[in-house]
Amino acid sequence: MACINDENSHFYSSSSSLPVIASRKFSVGDDGKSGDEFPFERVFPVYAKGTLNPEPNRVLLDFTNSGYDPIWNTIRQEAKLEAEKEPILSSFLYASILSHDCLEKALGFVLANRLQNPTLLATQLMVIFCNVIVHDRGIRSSIRLDLQAFKDRDPACLSYSSAILHLKGYLALQAYRVAHKLWKQGRKLLASALQSRVSEVFGIDIHPAARIGEGILLDHGTGVVIGETAVIGDRVSILQGVTLGGTGKDTGDRHPKIGDGALLGACVTILGNIRIGTGAMVAAGSLVLNDVPAHSMVAGNPAKVIGFVNEQDPSLTMEHDATKEFFRNVAVAYRETTPNVSGVAEKSDIIKENMRSSIHHQ
């Protein structure tokens, strides 16, 4: 398969300036480079976990050099089976998947048809998407690692093919990757036009200048907003309604930095140039205004540390009930106290005691 084969491939690495994000080159040009130096040979054996194997693998090199792509082969098989089960979808599946010779072109076709409008024609958009995706080895890696992240972590993801055809979180993320490449090339108006269409069609607003790693899950994705100078590490899971925003009209570096393996619950708001540590978990509905330590669990408005997580990457386990004991204790405290003047202090004392108890038992 011509789309993934490259006999001139070689290894490349560089360090990130962010202390909370593992030292690894972001997928697309955070250092101003094209991403073409990405070690694509090392991608395939990590489909299962969405992280790079630090050592070259001979078996891996054999099948990547031969053009073998297990995810694309699986997608084609899924599409054939679905076409047999649902003949009414056969034309759709043929046009979207089976008529293409690689994942890159199929994804370009799907994105172009979802984002077209009367002035941005599907044929024009497909040329843009395919030219960027096919020729950027970093993006070719990312679209696969992101796809595996959706398949592994989202129980609603029925198959690889359903992700590229229907899951707007996945599609918006890949459209961002193309827009980011265009932005780094100086084609900022076109990148902004793509951002605008993604926001209109999918309800997800990712600034093309933001830097996002690999193995990312945008679960549902509705209402996600990621600002211009935001940085997101690898293997991060983000649920609906999350905002990575600034705090005013300041310019410069003004958006959050999210460490590898972090889990951001639904409707989390993180504001300002603050750092969410590696493997941290932010509970749903939290407002985060200060740095969050690595592998900690924060909740509340404003968010405070309420414990620590055992998982290296809570984004992979997607255990959203990790704070249920804490919140149950808070609910009991409110229910068992009376709403009078003297009771205000009682509530506060009981809540603090339950917080301490919850953290102690975790």
State how far the Cα of 84 lies from the Cα of 296, in Å rounded to an integer: 48
Task: Mention every residue, 6+ apart, whose C-beta is less than 8 A from residue 215.
Answer: 49, 50, 51, 145, 146, 148, 149, 234, 235, 236
Mean pLDDT across the chain, nearest whole number? 78
Q: What is the largest CA-CA distance in the chain?
A: 75
Domain 1-207 architecture: Orthogonal Bundle (1.10)
Domain 223-318 fold: UDP N-Acetylglucosamine Acyltransferase; domain 1 (2.160.10)
Considering the chain, tell me which residue range(s) the CATH 1.10.3130.10 domain(s) occupy: 1-207
Considering the chain, tell me which residue range(s) the CATH 2.160.10.10 domain(s) occupy: 223-318
- The tens-digit pLDDT sequence of the chain (362 residues) is 446 444 333 323 333 333 333 333 333 344 444 444 433 333 333 333 333 333 433 443 344 455 779 999 999 999 999 999 999 999 999 999 999 999 999 999 999 999 999 999 999 999 999 999 999 999 999 999 999 999 999 989 989 999 999 999 999 999 999 999 999 999 999 999 999 999 999 999 999 999 999 999 999 999 999 999 999 999 999 999 999 999 888 889 999 999 999 999 999 999 999 999 999 999 999 999 999 999 999 999 999 999 988 777 787 877 655 455 554 544 444 444 444 444 444 444 544 554 455 444 44
Is the model's pTM score more than 0.75?
no
pLDDT score of 66: 54
